[in-house]
Structure 1
Amino acid sequence: MNARILSPLSGAGTLVSPPPLPLAVPRPAAGRPATLSLGVEEEYLLVDARTWHLVPAAPEILADVAQADHAFHGEGTLHQVETATPVHHTLDGLRESLTGARRVLGAAARARGYRLIAAASPVLTPPAPLALNLDKERRRTRRTLFGTLTDNLVSCGRHVHVGTVDKPSAVRVSNRMRPWVPTFVALAAGSPIWHGKDTGHASWRTVTWSSWPSAGLPPHFASTAAYDGAVRGLIHSGAALDTGMVYWDLRPSENWPTLELRAPDMSPRLDGALLQAALARALTAHILAEEPDLSGSPFTSDRTLRLARWRAARDGLEGTGIDPFTGAEVPAATLAWQLVDLLGPELEAAGDYGHVSRTLTDMLREGSAAARQRAVFARRGRATDVLRHLAEETEAC
């Protein structure tokens, strides 16, 4: 018999131990049309097709694709390129944009003897010194102020934007979404191999990126003014140069009327990207439908959430998570199905339930990105095999 807990997010019971197969598709919630939009930013690594080592090829690749009908950008290092989709309202449209951008970049990389890799962290040891992207004054200042910490910039995340959401609403959603950040981390975990070795963590990127003083879980904010004050505190203390260096797992975007989920690892399969996007939009819709009283937002302890986030980074989807509301150890897959169960009406209203349930079922059957990489690495202990595997999965879109 499945135990039940009361979820502070909904006030209703949610399954703690759901079945391993998709739950019955719920009826759409009345009066909840799929109005929220989606946009996704993806970061990629560039490697030599022969040696598999990182190459500082971003300037030439970006020049080659400058006329393409996609938004491409540089990143923190010259070993990376970034894509940004247009605004979409359906997963099909989002998939089309992500697929098109990936194919254009992949073809450009191959034409120059490189490969495009959807990996969250360097699998082989990066060159020393790292080729930082210092084309802007703020980037040069960041290198001066943060020193070797900027070596962590070579990690790659997937950022999901949900809109249209004004700042007060985004802060409120962030408060209530915080307990589910560890589940998003576990679902996307895909950086177990780092510098040629197994780190013992499914998402090593989550661990290393947390070394930035402005990264990690956002605080719980009593008001929008409290959020603004916390950002000012980061800047005045020197922990961030400006609002662009607010690296929290969740934040109101400074450039768009969106809530930005920054926690997920970059991963090679596009179904994983669509899963993250669908769940982020559904959770945002779920929270926005609640009473907009910031001061009354429920929250779990920061201590429990920090432990849950680290456990998600270590164990990934195949391991054990920590229930953010009870502190109990629970299979990470159970927590994932619990989130799907909670968001059933919103997912169904958006037409996303089928994709989410199928993708999660496939991930549990075939293995997460981290599990697949570890299986490849275990055969011969060669990090180059993992990079070849990642390149093939990246191109199979």
Structure 2
Amino acid sequence: MSEATAIPLPRTVSDLPLSVGVEEEFLLVDADTGALAPLAETVLHGVMPPDRASGPGGPLDLQPEMTLYQVESATSVCRSMAEVREELLAARRALASLAHAHGARIVASGTPVLGGVRPPPLASGERYRTIAAEYGSLIDGLTICGCHVHIGIPDEETGVLISNHLRPWLPVLLAISANSPFSEGRDSGYASWRYLAWSPWPSAGPPPWFGSVEDYRRATGALRAAGAALDPAMVYWDVRLSSRHPTVEVRVCDVAATVDEAVVLAALIRAIAGTALTGAPAWDVPEVVLRTALWRAARDGLDGAALDPRAGRLVPAVDMVRALVDWTRPALRAVGDEDLVVDGLDRVLLDGTGAERQRRAHRRRGSLADVVELLVAQT
């Protein structure tokens, strides 16, 4: 693996404060049975309680997803992790209140623990029908939930630079966020089954290394020319330039079990982006190595081994977490996020990832209902 720096920019984190936004996807489950409930449109068309109508950044952005089992929230453009946390809390509380009014609960899990039908019931909209017609049975695996972190960028060159720096750390981010061991009534054997369920899509997976914005445009153009993506919004790489906002969007993570874990992920991702802007070299990890490392992260989470893409060998997963913190420490300090990230990761390492906690809840009585109950409480 070689070290390279694409599109060097003589900037520092303090010269270019990075904005951040977070999108979270949730499952709707029946309050009594814990099985998936196809109530997204009913829930989102409900009357918002007056005290839940807005968050710290203004009106809450609550949206449908592709299936009727899912809802989504999005923060406004935030400048601090305190803002991110307040807005995520406000959105989760609002969605929980709306769901409760219809006999449902929201669950922050990458995959459904119980229930569901194949193909899943789709939300209304011509685009969703077109996707279903074009991609067939691939939609069967779409009842999955991720956490998407957006980092504000001034131009596409900066976005490509940040994408290259993010690539080698994608497996670490996935391992930290792993929160989907169960799927439709059984243990998948993976810490993040969501990542594996998403992988068959032709435009999914880690992005290539890009030497320029033109490289990026050629690659996305090839996806569209082949029909692997119908439009820019269907470029589903783990990192992409957003088609709707002036941001680079990181899509590799499972939805976080708790707000505090989502904030840690957002802070880490912003720190990687900040480090990219200081001129630190990026590692051009071969695609086969990166895909293998992502598979290993999806399997083990933090409770096992990780493939170090720089050395090409297995190491304890926690060693890669420490390596990421060390690499981003100057950027974390520059924006005051060091203690937040270090303390948050210490809690995850002590209590276990979302996946480990789900399995621990199941082991107590062998009950998947207990897992759903834990997820509702955490969410």
Question: Does 2:151 match 1:162?
Answer: yes
Q: Report what 2:27 is aligned to.
A: 45
Query: Does the Cα contact within 8 Å between 1:196 and 1:382 map onto a contact in 2?
Result: no
Tell me by how many angstroms 1:263 deviates: 0.3
Runs of 5+ in structure 2 lacking a partner?
6-10, 55-59
Query: Residue 30 and residue 170 in structure 1: after superposition, are their counterparts in 2 closer, same or farther (change >3 A)?
Result: closer
- CA separation in 2, counterparts of 1:259 and 1:7? 24
- CA separation in 2, counterparts of 1:168 and 1:30? 16
Question: What amino acid is the match of 1:107?
Answer: S
Q: TM-score, normalised by structure 2?
A: 0.92
Question: Does 2:160 match 1:171?
Answer: yes
Tell me by how many angstroms 1:31 deviates: 7.0
> Higher mean Cα deviation, 157-166 or 79-88?
157-166
> Higher mean Cα deviation, 30-39 or 100-109?
30-39
Query: Does the Cα contact within 8 Å between 1:65 and 1:105 map onto a contact in 2?
Result: no
Q: TM-score, normalised by structure 1?
A: 0.88
Runs of 5+ in structure 1 lacking a partner?
1-5, 11-28
Q: Report what 1:19 is aligned to.
A: none
Residue from 340, 345, 352 that aligns with 2:330: 345
Q: Report what 1:16 is aligned to.
A: none
Query: Does the Cα contact within 8 Å between 1:36 and 1:89 map onto a contact in 2?
Result: yes
> Higher mean Cα deviation, 59-68 or 206-215?
59-68
Query: Residue 302 and residue 86 in structure 1: after superposition, are their counterparts in 2 closer, same or farther (change >3 A)?
Result: same
Query: Does the Cα contact within 8 Å between 2:35 and 2:114 map onto a contact in 1?
Result: yes
- CA separation in 1, counterparts of 2:144 and 2:13? 41
Question: What amino acid is the match of 1:329?
Answer: L
Residue from 80, 97, 104 that aligns with 2:87: 97
Query: Residue 275 and residue 152 in structure 1: after superposition, are their counterparts in 2 closer, same or farther (change >3 A)?
Result: same
- CA separation in 1, counterparts of 2:331 and 2:266? 13
Query: Does the Cα contact within 8 Å between 2:118 and 2:140 map onto a contact in 1?
Result: no
Aligned residues: 366
Residue from 361, 365, 368 that aligns with 2:353: 368
- CA separation in 1, counterparts of 2:287 and 2:275? 22
Q: Report what 1:106 is aligned to.
A: 96
Q: Report what 2:227 is aligned to.
A: 238
Question: Does 2:206 match 1:224?
Answer: no
- Residues 65-113 of structure 1 deviation map (CA, whole Å, 9 limit, x = unaligned): 5682200111010111100101111111110000001001101111221
Tell me by how many angstroms 1:8 deviates: 4.1
User: Aligned residues: percent identity?
Assistant: 43
Query: Residue 79 and residue 7 in structure 1: after superposition, are their counterparts in 2 closer, same or farther (change >3 A)?
Result: same
Tell me by how many angstroms 1:379 deviates: 2.1
Tell me by how many angstroms 1:317 deviates: 1.1
Tell me by how many angstroms 1:312 deviates: 0.3
Query: Does the Cα contact within 8 Å between 1:160 and 1:280 map onto a contact in 2?
Result: yes
Q: Report what 2:57 is aligned to.
A: none
Tell me by how many angstroms 1:382 deviates: 2.1
Tell me by how many angstroms 1:256 deviates: 0.9
Q: Report what 2:257 is aligned to.
A: 268
Question: Does 2:246 match 1:257?
Answer: yes
- CA separation in 2, counterparts of 1:88 and 1:222? 30
Question: What amino acid is the match of 1:36?
Answer: L
RMSD: 1.9
